[in-house]
A and B are shown apart, each in its own frame.
Chain A
Amino acid sequence: MSLSINSRPLMILRLATSATHDIGSTPQGTLTIFPVTGGSFEGERLRGQVLAGGGDWVTAHESGTLTLDLRVTLETDDSELIHMTFTGVRDDANHYFRTVPRFETAAPKYAFLNRLLAIGTGDIRPDGPVHIIEEIL
């Protein structure tokens, strides 16, 4: 029985976002949509750009935590498309910002993405959010 869980780097994802859509107070919390206008991703096994048209649906809860729900399209440097989603938790009071990315692709070269689970560590930087994503081994 394996008692430790190992990981290895998958990619660093940088997102560019535009002005938010403030949906406001809903039964679930306060919903803010961050449109994704672009970005980049880079790892040992894949790299490329984030296409415009995605977004992150962020709900602020009364407890002070944020939950994230992102979907974007990645385009690799060899022109393959990857559908990426993540859900996540951001709790600034505890410096905790983790996501659970999932990938779908039809490209045989990147089919390994269909079969893995991953964990992302998020960081809000002046030039936009950065997610360090690791594959769960």
Chain B
Amino acid sequence: MNTRLLMMMHVNVATVLNVGAVPHGIRRTAPLRGGTFEGPRLRGTILPASADWQLLRSDGVLEMDLRFTLQTDDGALISMSSFGLRHGPPDVIAALGRGETVDPSTYYFRTMPRFQTAHPVYSFLNRLIAVASGDRRPDGPIYTIHEVL
């Protein structure tokens, strides 16, 4: 599989909302305080009203449903939605839960971002599939987002 870097994204998470036990698992929502993204072809900030809707499944896997609105430095709006999975050894996941910085190679944290935009400069985003590797930091994740070529 060939990929190339699309952007690095730094996400700043606000206070997590614990929705609690729902029929599918344990649900919590992580609203974003903001963030930035930067890559060879686009850069800008993540707008409020972006969040990560998370579901902790009974098999211990965390499902993530990210809905972000991106604003490029030239004013274009891009809607990004992303499905992801995070899981790993119990001690590693516990360390993440305590807000510690953990080597991201010790757990699985991958997402599949999709983009929608009306802006012609960025319409290439409408036509591509991407894969992201996440690194959960105490103040929010860093995503390395690659375009699947």
Interface residues of A (CB under 8 A from B): 1-5, 7, 63, 65, 88-89, 91, 94, 96, 98-100, 102, 111, 114-117, 119, 121, 134, 136
Given A111-B59, A115-B108, A134-B1, are A5 and B133 neighbors across the interface (CB < 8 Å)?
Answer: yes
- Max chain A Cβ within 10 angstroms of own Cβ: one of B111, B127, B133: B127
Bound form: Cα–Cα A136–B123 in Å: 26
Supplied contacts A7-B1, A89-B128, 18 more A-B pairs, CB within 8 Å: A1-B104, A2-B135, A3-B5, A5-B3, A5-B110, A5-B131, A63-B126, A63-B127, A65-B126, A88-B129, A89-B129, A91-B127, A98-B128, A100-B129, A111-B59, A115-B87, A119-B1, A136-B131
5 smallest CB-CB distances across A and B, nearest first, come from A98-B129, A7-B1, A117-B110, A100-B112, A91-B127
- Tell which of B17-25, B32-40, B43-51, B140-148 binds the partner: B140-148
CA gap between A62 and B41 in the complex, in Å: 24
Which residues in A have their C-beta under 8 angstroms from that of B5?
3
Chain B facing A: main interface SS = strand
Number of A-B contacts (CB under 8 A): 65
B-chain residues with CB within 8 Å of residue A91 when the two chains form the complex: 127
Interface residues as binary, B61-90 with A (CB distance below 8 Å gives 1, 0 otherwise): 100000000000000000000011101000
* Contact across chains for B146 and A5 when beta carbons are under 8 A apart: yes
Q: Within 8 Å CB of A89, what residues of B?
A: 127-129
Give CA–CA (A119, B111) in the complex, Å: 11
Task: Report the minimal beta-carbon distance from A82 to chain B, rounded to whole angstroms.
Answer: 15
Residues of chain A with a CB closer than 8 A to B135's CB: 1-2
A2 lies within 8 A of B105 (CB): yes
Binary A-proximity of B105-130 (CB < 8 A = 1, otherwise 0): 10010111000000000010011110
CB closest chain-A residue, reference B5: A3
List, sorted by A's number, 23 A–B pairs whose CB atoms are closer than 8 Å.
Answer: A1-B104, A1-B142, A1-B144, A2-B104, A2-B105, A3-B5, A5-B1, A5-B3, A5-B146, A7-B1, A63-B123, A89-B127, A89-B128, A96-B127, A100-B129, A102-B83, A111-B59, A115-B61, A115-B87, A117-B84, A119-B129, A119-B131, A136-B110
